Chain A
């Protein structure tokens, strides 16, 4: 059969091939496609030949988790043998063989690049599979890609070695630009894979916590209630309060809120300083010494900031919030309010 005849044959059966490509197997297949080996019968079904999947998936830049990247070990070994032979005997046949092998590896690396990218994207876009599975697959792929990265060094060295022959020099030079670029791609895929694995691990760990908490709820585990009322939880999560209208004295609140419903004239305020800048300006270490053992951290902050720079006084609230966020464990929250209407927070004795 000629190539053009094969193309015509495939065209004639394009709908069936499309179906077989999507479904992976068929109950029956045309005799002429079986005869050329495009379909193989296994266990009562007709399977499309793997070479067809390889061909199509490479051209369409697709990969599923069964894809295993080639490392060109055998080709490189052969190439090294041919190089030694060529050094002694520069025949046209050898030259052609080397060209074809070099080209095969080069084209193979390009194809492999497309499919590894497809594989990384498939992992990143997977919304259905379990996270455990994705982490496991991600780690397997990472291991493969790391190996490819190592082996690429050998490929590059082998290619470079062929520059010693004027017959291949230009060809190698042309290829190397691309090969180095492909190697950089592999490096980028490694980074993406590592990032994907660590993010997915994080999600997986969190989901486990969620399912464990759900399990505790279902089993009426008293630990949850106990935990929710602990001071530790209250401070850390700031869930001191509950968003439920049933608990709000609506009328009372509305009377007070009503005072503020008229439009206020708002002065144009100065551009706010960046909090980091404020923290740097007030010297946080000295501030910490100053508020240590304080009976009212907010008041101590005002006193301290006032001494450092009066212009920074209006930043006191933000500094206070910064302290609350960063030194939670050192603080005791009381139920009282000071004259600034700020909750009295003490530094632990």
Chain B
């Protein structure tokens, strides 16, 4: 199981405990002993598993030249989540959302600047597909068997925690 999990995590996947796709892996990682053993091994090569708030990811120290790429990918996701939360104001991990519902509400909740920064299109269907794909690709949402339904994964909080921390820093200033 260690190698399977390492294989998945090393692709940059954030494994959420409420994911159906990675249910086995999440269950395995939630065992303290398993987590600690794998983490100890990975520490030797400068890698770490971070497990918090019901999700796990593999990580490493950032080098200066890597920062820009790190921030850019995260910034994109924060923007996408901000737009999603404008449409689904109560959005939280574990919630189920539908593309069709997003399309229905989008026009009145659209943030022009965010959409312009993220996607090079004005087409509603294209924007919806691209936004959902971006979030799915980054393990924030996961498609359920029902055609139109997605579940919000615990990994959402990975990005929301960044927002929380940035804001706290702001308050302290």
Contact = CB atoms under 8 A, between A and B. Distances in A.
A209 B6 CA distance: 34
A218 B117 contact: yes
A257 B3 contact: yes
Given A224-B75, A244-B70, A260-B2, A237 B9 contact: no
A253 B116 CA distance: 39
Contacts of A230: 169
A258 B117 CA distance: 43
A203 B113 contact: no
A217 B164 contact: no
Interface-centre pick from A214, A236, A256 (highest chain B CB count, 10 A): A214
Interface majority SS (helix, strand, loop, mixed), chain B: helix
Interface string B145-173: 00000000000000011111111111000
Interface in A40-76: none
A217 B165 contact: no
A249 interface: yes
A243 B82 contact: no
Nearest to B90: A127
- Main SS of chain A's interface residues? helix
Given A228-B162, A253-B47, A203 B90 contact: yes
Interface string B37-71: 11011111101101010000111111100110111
A127 B114 CA distance: 22
Nearest to B57: A243
Given A244-B73, A341-B44, A213 B166 contact: yes
**Most chain B beta carbons < 10 A, residue from A210, A227, A245:** A210
A240 B47 CA distance: 11
A15 interface: no
Contact of A269 (B11, B33, B73): B33
B162 A214 contact: no
A249 to B, nearest CB: 7
A337 to B, nearest CB: 7
Interface string A22-39: 000000000000000000
A326 interface: no
A53 to B, nearest CB: 26
A92 interface: no
Interface size range on A against B: 35 or more
A265 B161 CA distance: 38
Interface string A243-276: 1111111101110111111000010010010000
A181 interface: no
A240 B2 contact: no
Interface in A181-217: 203, 206-207, 209-214, 216-217
A241 B47 CA distance: 8
A7 interface: no
Contact of A218 (B2, B14, B113, B164): B113
A218 B79 contact: yes
A130 B44 CA distance: 49
Nearest to B9: A243
A216 B12 CA distance: 26
A246 B69 contact: yes
Contacts of B32: 272
B62 A254 contact: no
A165 interface: no
Contacts of B66: 242, 247
A123 B172 CA distance: 34
Interface pairs A-B: 10 shortest CB-CB: A241-B59, A243-B57, A214-B82, A209-B167, A245-B12, A261-B3, A217-B75, A213-B163, A237-B165, A227-B169
Given A217-B75, A224-B166, 17 more contacts: A130-B89, A209-B167, A213-B78, A218-B79, A218-B113, A227-B170, A228-B162, A236-B165, A236-B168, A243-B14, A245-B11, A246-B69, A256-B44, A257-B2, A257-B41, A257-B42, A317-B36
19 contacts: A129-B89, A203-B89, A203-B90, A206-B160, A207-B85, A214-B82, A227-B169, A232-B169, A237-B162, A239-B50, A240-B48, A241-B61, A245-B10, A250-B10, A254-B6, A257-B6, A260-B37, A260-B38, A266-B33
